Amino acid sequence: MKGRHRPAGSSGGALKLGAAAVAVLVVLAGSWYAFNKYSKPACGNAAKLSIGASADISPALKLQAAEWAEQAKDNGNCVDIEVFDEDPADVAAALAGKADKSLTGVGQANGKTRIPDVWVADSSLWLQRIRAVNPDSVKAGAHSVALSPVVLAMPEPAATKFGWPQKNITYADLIASLAANQGTKIGITEPSRDATGLAGLLTLASVAKQAGGGNATQATQVATTALRALAAGRSSVRSDLIQKFPRGSDQQAISTSLTVAPLSEQAIIQYNGQQPPVRIAAIYAEPAAPPLDYPYVVLSADKASMADELLKSLQTQDFRDKLGAIGLRGADGAPGKGFQTPANAPGALAAAAPQLPDAGTVETLLQQWQAITLPARMLAVLDVSGSMLEPVPTAGNATRMQVTLEAARKGMALFDDSWSLGVWTFSTLLDGQKDYKQLVPIGPLVSQRAQLVQALGGITPKKNGDTGLYDTILAAYKAVQSGYESGRINSIIVMTDGENDDPAGGLKLEELIAQLKAVADPAKPIQIILIGIGDKVGEAAMRQITDAVGGGTFVAQDPSKIGDIFLQAISLRGQIAQKK
C-alpha cells in the first residue's frame, strides 16, 4: 500500500511554526502580566489608617489588615494600614489626659503612647472607665471583634481538689476556701491596669459581699479577706503572674506555687500549648466574669469611612479562623478553625453583650484596691472640736464625729499589716498648751491594730473646743518627717469640719505655708491630705496649703459621704503630684 508523498522537510517547518507561536504566546502572556501588575495604582498617596491594638489580638489584626489592603489595591484603592501593639492602659490614660483627667491607678500615659485612628482595646471596661472622666472621648456603639472569657486558672492537680472536672466550681467555693485559710494561693494582675485582673476583681468582690448571709459586718470581713489575699498575690503584668504557676509536677512545687488566678481563656490555651510540666485548667466559674470583648473604636472621625469598611472584614469567617489560631473566639463566642478548646469549655458562648457594672461601682472598687495595695506610713489627725457634735440628718442624726470615726474604722480594716499608722486628735488646748494630742504613735499595724481600734473607740469631741488647725498641721508634718521611711508613701491625713480658729493666736496661713516650705525636704516628700467635712470648711485656704507643699484637698459637703471621700483620698495618694 502506497502512502501519500510528503515533501521533504515539511515536518520540521511545522515544528518551527509551532515553536514561534508558543514564543509569541509567552511574550504576550508576559506582557499582560506586566501590564496587569504595573497598571495597578502606584499608591504613592495611599490613604493611611493606624490601629492601636492589645497585643492579645494584634497578630490576627495584622494579617487581616494586610489582606484587606491588598484586596483594596486590586480594586483600585490604595490604603496603608499600620497595626501596632499598644497597652490599653496607656491609650486610656492618654484619652483621659486630653480632658486633664486621670484613671485610678493608671496615672499618666507612657511618653511614647500614640492615640491611633482606630483603637482595639481588650475590654469594654476601658471604654466605660474613660467615659466616666471624659464623656466625649469615646463614642458609644463600639463593635466587638473577638471574645475571650475570663476564667479561673488552676493547675490541674489543684483543680481536682476542688472537684474539677466533675464539679462546676464557683467563685463562692473560692471565697470559702480563702475564708477558711485552706492554703489557697490566689493571684491577680494589677486590676487598675489590666482588664483581666479587673474583671476577676469585680466578680470576686461582688460574690464576697454576698457571703455574709445578710450580716453586713460579716460580709465586710469576708470581702476584706478576699481583697487582702488578692493584694498579696498580685503581679504587675500577666507574664509575671503566669510564672507563679508550678514549674514542676512534684508535690512540693505544686503546694508552694500559685493555686488560682483570673485569666483569659486565650492565656490558658497559649500556656498549655507550650507543653508545661503541669497543665492549667480553665474553670468557667459562676457567676461569669465580664469577658474580654475587644471593642473596635474609631477615634479619628475623618477616617471613619475606611475604618468601617475594614470592620466588615473583621466580621467574616476568614477572620474568625485567624482568631482561632491564636486562641481567641469570634465576637459571637463561636470558635474558628484551629481553636484549641480547653477541657470542659463550652463550644460556643452567648453572643449577648457583656453585662458590665456601672462606672461608679468600678471606681469605688478600684479606690478600695488602691487603698489596700499602696505601701504607706500615715498619721491620721482627727478634729474633735465642739462642732463635731453636730448631728448629720442624712446619716440618721449621727454626729459628725460618729460618721468620721466610722469612716476611719472602715478604712483601717482595709489596710493590711504592712501599713504603719498613728492617730492624733486636735482642737484647742488638748495637751497642756498644745492644740493636738497623740493617741497612738505611728507604728506597724501588725503590732498595734488593736490599740488603734481601742483609741478610735474612745474619741469624744471637746464640747467647747475650737479648731487649732494650722499649728496641728505643722506639728504633724514634722512628726512624720522625723521618722520618714523610704519606699513608702509618707503622708498626713487631716479630717476637719471647720476653718482654723484658735483664740490663743497660733500660726496664720501665710506663716504655716512658709514654715512648711522651710522644713520640707525634696528627698523625703510628705503628702498632706486635707478632708473637709460639711459646708463650713475653709476649702480655699486648705487648697493653698496642699498646693504649696504637695498633697490634695477633698471636701464632703454632705458629712454622711465622708466614708467615700476618705476612700477616694487614700486611693489617690500615689497620683497626687509632689510639689517641690
- Domains of the chain in start order, with CATH, are 47-147+293-325 (3.40.190.10), 150-283 (3.40.190), 374-571 (3.40.50.410)
| 187 CA to centre of own chain | 15
- Determine phi and psi for 177, rounding to 5 degrees: -65, -40
pTM: 0.73
Asked if 389 and 461 touch (Cβ cutoff 8 Å), the reply is yes
Per-residue pLDDT of the chain (580 residues; tens, 9 = 90+): 344 344 444 444 443 434 444 343 334 334 333 334 334 445 667 889 999 999 999 999 999 999 999 998 877 788 999 999 999 999 999 999 998 888 988 988 888 899 999 999 999 999 999 998 888 888 888 999 999 999 999 999 999 988 899 888 899 998 888 877 778 899 999 999 999 999 999 999 889 878 766 666 677 677 777 877 888 888 989 999 999 999 888 888 888 899 999 999 999 999 999 999 999 999 999 999 999 999 999 999 999 999 999 999 999 999 999 999 999 999 999 999 999 999 888 766 765 556 788 888 898 889 888 877 777 899 999 999 999 999 999 999 999 999 999 999 988 887 878 899 999 999 999 999 999 999 999 999 999 999 999 999 999 999 999 999 999 999 999 999 999 998 888 999 999 998 999 888 899 999 999 999 999 999 999 999 999 999 889 899 999 999 998 889 999 999 998 888 887 787 666 554 333 3
The three-state secondary structure class of 576 is coil
Handedness of CA 512, 517, 521, 527 (dihedral sign): positive
Give the per-residue SS3 of 221-277: HHHHHHHHHHHHCEECCHHHHHCCCCCCCCHHHHHHCCCEEEEEHHHHHHHHCCCCC
Which of 487, 486, 469 is closest to 528 using CA atoms?
Answer: 469
